[in-house]
Structure 1
Amino acid sequence: MAAKSLNQSIFRLVVGVVLLTSLTIIVNVWLATTEQAQKGLDRDLKVAQNVLEQVLSNRENLLFNSAGVLTDDFGFKQAVASEDTPTIKSALQNHGARINADVMALISLNGKNIASTPTLLEPGTEFPYQSLIQTMLSDGGASALIMLDKQLYQVIMLTVDAPAPLAIALVGFKLDQGLVNQLNDITQLETTIEVAKNGAEEFSVSTLEDPAALKAIQQNQTDLNWYSITIAKDIPFVSRQFILADEFGYQTQITLSEDVDKLFAEFNQLQLNITVIGALAIVIAMLLAALFSRKLAKPLVTLSQVAQRISSGNYTTKVEIPPSTQELDTLSTAFTSMQSNIKTREEKIVFQARHDTLTSLSNRHYIETLLDQRFVEGQPFLAIGINIFGFRGINDIFGYHNGDLCLKELASRVAKLDGLAARLTGGELLWVPSKHLELSDIEKIKIELEKPIDKGEVVINLKVAMGLLYCPEDAKDAEQLFRRMNIVLDEAQISRQFILRYDFALEDKYLRRLSIITELKNTLTHAQHELNLFYQPKLNLKTGKVESVEALIRWTNAKLGFVSPEDFIATAEHAGFIELVTQWVIERAIKDAATFQDSKLTLTIAINLSARDVMNTKLLSLIKQKLAEYQLDSTSVSFEITEGDLVKDHQKAIEHLKAFQASGFSIAIDDFGTGYSSMAYLQSLPVNTLKVDKSFVLNLDTQVGDQQIVKTVISLAHAFELTVVAEGIENLPTLQLLAQWGCEWAQGYYICKPAPAEQLIKWCHENKNTQWLT
């Protein structure tokens, strides 16, 4: 049977009601509409209150997430640990700008202000809400509404841990005119926020002008009645108030108001019209209402039940109502479409909330939830951290676009493995295998992950470091797992142990590295007297004279004592400030070169450069400037570069080294034989000298295998017109063998241990006639 138009049914009903309305309907309309309006208004105000609370809760979550990102930032932790105020303020400003925060601050654990942006909290003064500090320290975090500079802020406070708490980060948004305007747009209700202290108003913001806002506040909890609405008109607003916060001596109160005239303008006219019409039609209206109510109510009740199921998250129940009118059929179809669309959008939102946008792997928050479930279940599992070795270098050399492509490709490879996969931070991934793996299995997987990435115009070779944590032995919860994974990956990167299991001793090494970073920065800035250069002579085996020395840095710190160069040089490279160390070495070495010259010594000082130094386009001009300052020529210094560093970016290394060579500087490859180099590779490099690693020289007089290697290197180097330096010479037979094979330079303890410049000058004069080969 064809469905009838809903408009026709309603028209017939209205005509019947108009014709048969009676005085009973009039009275019922007067009372019922006023009562329903009161209930509807109360409901609207309650909904608005819930919306306001949800908005503030969402802002609090945003503040919490933003504060977590800030406190997890490694660079920010370093700045806090080193009390680097400019870097702290810069980090606060940059992070605040990204999230549009209105206040960012760092507070010491004893409640003293360190830095803030804007400068609402004067550095060195006491934070005005000390009880909030105590709450935060006891609970691990805190949120509150506070007054700063006569302005209300919603703030989140978290500790900055490395891993122990160092300081407290504060992130906040204003509760200002913009917020109440936003709430007005959402709820269509007038909103007033007041802050009072001891009954006196300290702060107020409202969508209403001052006189209207005062009236709205005075109408709190006022009930509507028919007389006031239609006749007296003595209730301009209906308002509801609730306390948002009552702490620190301040009471924050929110008032939601509805303009009664606006709300009931049409109702009053309608009520008058119904009064006139209803007097004529009450009886017929009752009969027709009874006749049609069942026909209309049943489908609407069904749709109402469907809406309730959808609101509770049930999107699978099919929407079915008996055939009625075209409009109800259309509404039923719309409900079905709405149910499907909501389900699709919710699935998309859930996926985005749980996954990293770049790699589509699980994000840190979601994997933390899954890991905590594993810990609760008590089943042992292996967690493998995967970090691209030299990821920062890939971004620098190939650009951030290709860096992202590398990360996406690596994430894709990890995602294809069985188990859970997530991106934690930057180039760091986490993989939890679904089955037990032996070390040999992990090594095979590492090889697969390191396959070159061919992007057409460029081929990028990957090297990954893998950190292993066996849980729950190595970690008891997800937070501890993340922290210790960061420690083991950091150690793997520095020590170049590319598959490394977590060990509790690594925590001490990690803390020591942090101490080294802090103290070395302080030394380079304020205590350079702690640094010194020692020099080890290089004997020219052709002339029998010492004509060159190698500069070796030494550091004795007031807190850490003597720190090995192997420790602090690697840490400085990893932390990204090796250029400062190199700059100090260059300046000191050139100064000492002038001292040698004044002491009638003709010595070339060999200075070690890192890969980052070679790529530093400003370094060559600095060297030339310092040489000119002391009136020295280019033969006063030479440079040594580790071969493993050169192959990371072959073309740029060649370009920069050619510039050094064109300026008259000699270039040597240090530790030759321990890296990747081949003679064909070396032929393309603008170098003058090979320096044979001491591991092949220490036992040269007794080890036939080492003798074959060194003889071959010397022969091939000479074929490429390169000179050879042998280091690690411990005795006369070794020295005599090297001279016999045509090695040009010798260096080692047999000749002289590294010594300060003053002792070296004395030693050179005492040994100028020494016959080293007899």
Structure 2
Amino acid sequence: MNRVYGMRRQVYPYFAVMAVVAVLLLVLFLAVSWMQDRSDRRAKLRLAAGQLSEAVAEREQSLRELLAAATFSGRYVDAVGALSSQNDLPAMVGMLPQNPSRQWRSAEWLTLAPDAGSTSRSFRYQIHQGDIYGVLEQRRSGLAALLAFPLAESLRPILRQGSLWGRLEIDRQHFQLIDAGGVGPLRRWLSDSQSLTLQAADGPDIRLVLYASPKLPIRVLAAILAGLILLLLIAALLARLLSEQLSRPLRQLSSQLQRYADGEQMAPLTVDSRVVDILSLQYALDAVFGVLRRREKNLRYRATHDLLTGMKNQNELLRIVGQRISDARAHNRIFHLIGINILNFREINDMFGPDIADSCLVNIGAFLEQEHLVAARFYRGGIVVVKDGPPDEVAAVVLAMQLTRHHGIKNVDIELNVCTAIVGFPDDASDAPVLLRRLEIALDGARRAPYRFQRYKHGQEENYVKRLNMVEELRQAMLDWHSGLQVFYQPKLNLRAGQVDRMEALVRWNHPKYGNILPSEFIPLAEQAGLISSLSSWVITRVCEQIAGWRERGLDIQVAVNLSVQDMSHPELVDVIEKHRRKYELPAQCLAFEITESELMENPQEAIRLLKTFREQGYCLAIDDFGTGYSSLAQVKHMPVNEIKIDQEFVRHLPRDGDDQKIVRTTLALAHNFGLEAVAEGVEDLDTLELLVRWGCGWAQGYYISPAMPGVEVVDWVDEFHARHGQQTDALSRLFASEVPTL
């Protein structure tokens, strides 16, 4: 895990490194001084050792000469006087003839006594009362003399001269320090040493160890260490001040950045510092944040505006409406929303190109901004205007008409088809999402409403939800055979042969909850929900299966299936048809397809291309509801169709309406001239059927002949119909010799 340190902890390591370097330099200096001083001390010790050896030897020799001179005359008193006259060795004499044993003390003659022994002389070292003495014994001329001197007294002058101190040892068991009173334990530990041996004729040898203490006093070392500690403390204080100078402005920058990270508006950075590096960092961050502020402003604009028109977008509209609701509740006000949708925007885009279509929206947005209206883009390319006050339906329609005239495209004849809807607060909803949802529902209803305007009505949302549920249930119905979705078949009577040789497939939906739902209700739902292609595929599958069943029973009949332009625009539809036709081994003539004239006229060129695709596969094609789509003769001439179906609007009242008669006769003449067959739908009485036969219509379809029926009833019905009308000699007599059965 990574560890994060503050500015002070970042500075302290550098301070520690500096302190270590300073200590190392001091240690190096002391080590060099120590080594040089140690070399001098060792040279001094060697010199002093030589001088002490010579001094001890000279003292021993002088004592020997002095003792010899004193005892040479053989007179005891003279000897004492001679010895007592020596300044460097005061003496005190005590006669102890009754006790020849020797008694001696420090720096004294201990005894002079007659001795009958032979002449002899010896020198040794002995200990007396903690001090080490050099003892010289002389036997001569019947006199025994003993002379002792403290060894330290002989060595001290040389030691003091060289600032040395010493240690005398006998047999490594007893020692005596010389001039070591002012030497502490530390100096003793730091001192250098030099040892030499003082040999004696009799007795143990003396080991003399010389010590030379460092020249640098301990107090000086302590003062240096104290100064070093003081310097370290000063350095630590300076490091703290420096870190504070660095960390304070950085903390200020960090605090401002954290506030920005928490969502506050980004403002220019300010720091309290005179450090050039900190100020440079501030200027660099300000430059970066300047770019970020511009980007933030751009992102905020993108998040709340439509990039094409500059109007508010859907999210911002929701916020504005929510704010308006809060203000309206606080001040007891009302407001309303106007929804405007351009119905033919897609056609404009396809015909004139996306640039022209987008320019229309941009100019409309500019017009709304000039009018100081709060406007926003809405679902499906719609526009919503927020206005104060109660809903004004006339003003809403007028505003929509103004938009159609202010699209701003010159030299291009463009007519905008718009629908308008209006909802109000608080009558229609009490919160923003519901208000906008109901506006969308009202706009959807305005597409089919008179004058393409609709004011939201209570209960409309429930119907809308019902339609949405029906869409989902329709999707499930195509998967479940027992959900009530069925294909019914309505006969087409051949007026020339007097036989039923064609059928039209019609979808029926017996809903488990709502009962029989009209095709005019659920077919548009399927188109809006994008299910029409799936529904058409489902119908084609059932029709192919049914035709195969009829053929097995000896009934060879053609079935027409209604298709929309959406269906024909899917290239996989032809593959689906071919797949099922080949599965049941059906000829192409068994299937026919009907397309409404109004859909064909929406895009005639594309329709012609799609129809040719079906014709190349050998299928029959018919224009359904002919006469309602305002098609021209030139367009009909190029349509690759086999027949036209006269809409029932012109057929239902044919015997009693002269205008309908003119239209039907003209349509039949047009079909004959173009080599097309004609089918009249909506035949509901015998008079109508008689007129159609006399005018040369090819097929008739309607309730008078038979309503739509399930597929299982078709074979029996056809057999019964042909049996009842099959005895006449010609078509017309067969048709009218007896009454056609009706329901």
In structure 2, the partner of 1:662 is 616
Instruction: Note if 1:604 corresponds to 2:554.
Output: no
Residue 635 of structure 1 deviates from its aligned partner by 1.7
Distance 1:374 1:760, change over 3 A: same
Alpha-carbon separation, structure 2, partners of 1:472 and 1:478: 10
Residue 402 of structure 1 deviates from its aligned partner by 6.7
Q: Which moved more, 1:329-338 or 1:628-637?
A: 329-338
Q: Give the aligned residue type for 1:766.
A: E
- Counting only pairs closer than 5 Å after superposition, residues 230-241 of structure 1 correspond to structure 2 as none
Q: Give the aligned residue type for 1:716.
A: L
In structure 2, the partner of 1:444 is 401
Question: Where does the alignment leave 5 or more consecutive residues of structure 1 unmatched?
Answer: 1-180, 190-256, 283-295
Alpha-carbon separation, structure 1, partners of 2:405 and 2:631: 24
Indicate conservation of the 8 Å contact 1:361/1:422, yes or no: yes
Q: Which has the higher contact order (CA 8 A, sep 6+)?
A: 1
Residue 371 of structure 1 deviates from its aligned partner by 1.5
Indicate conservation of the 8 Å contact 2:601/2:629, yes or no: no
In structure 2, the partner of 1:691 is 645
Distance 1:405 1:505, change over 3 A: farther
- Counting only pairs closer than 5 Å after superposition, residues 454-533 of structure 1 correspond to structure 2 as 465-492=419-446, 498-527=452-481, 530-533=484-487
Q: Which moved more, 1:629-638 or 1:264-273?
A: 264-273
Instruction: Note if 1:376 corresponds to 2:330.
Output: no
Instruction: Note if 1:366 corresponds to 2:295.
Output: no
Q: Deviations over 1:295-337 (max 9, x none)?
A: x9xxx9xx99xx99x99999999x9xxxx99999999999998
Residue 536 of structure 1 deviates from its aligned partner by 1.3
Alpha-carbon separation, structure 1, partners of 2:653 and 2:549: 36
Alpha-carbon separation, structure 2, partners of 1:628 and 1:718: 34
Alpha-carbon separation, structure 2, partners of 1:693 and 1:673: 7
Question: Where does the alignment leave 5 or more consecutive residues of structure 2 unmatched?
Answer: 23-225, 234-244, 726-732, 738-743
Q: Give the aligned residue type for 1:417.
A: L
Indicate conservation of the 8 Å contact 2:379/2:440, yes or no: no
Alpha-carbon separation, structure 2, partners of 1:271 and 1:412: 75
Q: Give the aligned residue type for 1:620.
A: V
Distance 1:720 1:417, change over 3 A: farther
Q: Between the two proteins, what is the percent identity of the paired residues?
A: 33
Alpha-carbon separation, structure 1, partners of 2:360 and 2:440: 22
In structure 2, the partner of 1:634 is 588
Distance 1:609 1:683, change over 3 A: same
Residue 586 of structure 1 deviates from its aligned partner by 1.0
Instruction: Note if 1:594 corresponds to 2:544.
Output: no
Q: Give the aligned residue type for 1:413.
A: I
Distance 1:259 1:424, change over 3 A: same
Alpha-carbon separation, structure 2, partners of 1:608 and 1:713: 21
In structure 1, the partner of 2:524 is 570
Distance 1:346 1:599, change over 3 A: closer
Residue 619 of structure 1 deviates from its aligned partner by 1.8
Residue 449 of structure 1 deviates from its aligned partner by 7.9
Indicate conservation of the 8 Å contact 1:411/1:429, yes or no: no
In structure 1, the partner of 2:72 is none
Alpha-carbon separation, structure 1, partners of 2:632 and 2:655: 25
Distance 1:498 1:277, change over 3 A: farther
Residue 350 of structure 1 deviates from its aligned partner by 3.3
Indicate the SS of the match to 1:416: helix
TM-score (norm. length: structure 1) = 0.54
Q: Give the aligned residue type for 2:666.
A: T
In structure 2, the partner of 1:413 is 364
Q: Give the aligned residue type for 2:721.
A: N
Q: Give the aligned residue type for 1:577.
A: L
Indicate conservation of the 8 Å contact 2:498/2:734, yes or no: yes
In structure 2, the partner of 1:675 is 629
In structure 2, the partner of 1:264 is 12
Residue 614 of structure 1 deviates from its aligned partner by 0.8
Q: Give the aligned residue type for 1:750.
A: Y
Distance 1:346 1:631, change over 3 A: closer
Alpha-carbon separation, structure 2, partners of 1:699 and 1:717: 21
Alpha-carbon separation, structure 2, partners of 1:341 and 1:442: 41
Alpha-carbon separation, structure 1, partners of 2:684 and 2:605: 37
Kindly tell me the number of residue pairs found equivalent between the two proteins.
507
Greater Cα radius of gyration, structure 1 or 2: 2
Indicate conservation of the 8 Å contact 1:607/1:639, yes or no: yes
Residue 606 of structure 1 deviates from its aligned partner by 0.9
Residue 721 of structure 1 deviates from its aligned partner by 2.5
Alpha-carbon separation, structure 1, partners of 2:335 and 2:596: 40
Alpha-carbon separation, structure 1, partners of 2:696 and 2:410: 44
Equivalent residue in structure 2 for 1:772, among 713, 716, 735: 735
Residue 382 of structure 1 deviates from its aligned partner by 3.8
In structure 2, the partner of 1:760 is 714
Alpha-carbon separation, structure 2, partners of 1:453 and 1:755: 56
Indicate conservation of the 8 Å contact 1:450/1:461, yes or no: no
Alpha-carbon separation, structure 1, partners of 2:693 and 2:677: 13
Alpha-carbon separation, structure 2, partners of 1:507 and 1:640: 34
Indicate the SS of the match to 2:300: helix
- Counting only pairs closer than 5 Å after superposition, residues 181-196 of structure 1 correspond to structure 2 as 189=4
Q: Deviations over 1:585-623 (max 9, x none)?
A: 112212222333344444221110122211121222322
Q: Give the aligned residue type for 2:683.
A: I
Instruction: Note if 1:350 corresponds to 2:304.
Output: no
TM-score (norm. length: structure 2) = 0.56
Q: Give the aligned residue type for 1:264.
A: Y
Indicate conservation of the 8 Å contact 1:450/1:463, yes or no: no
Q: Deviations over 1:65-84 (max 9, x none)?
A: xxxxxxxxxxxxxxxxxxxx
- Counting only pairs closer than 5 Å after superposition, residues 332-351 of structure 1 correspond to structure 2 as 344=294, 347-351=297-301
Q: Give the aligned residue type for 1:355.
A: H
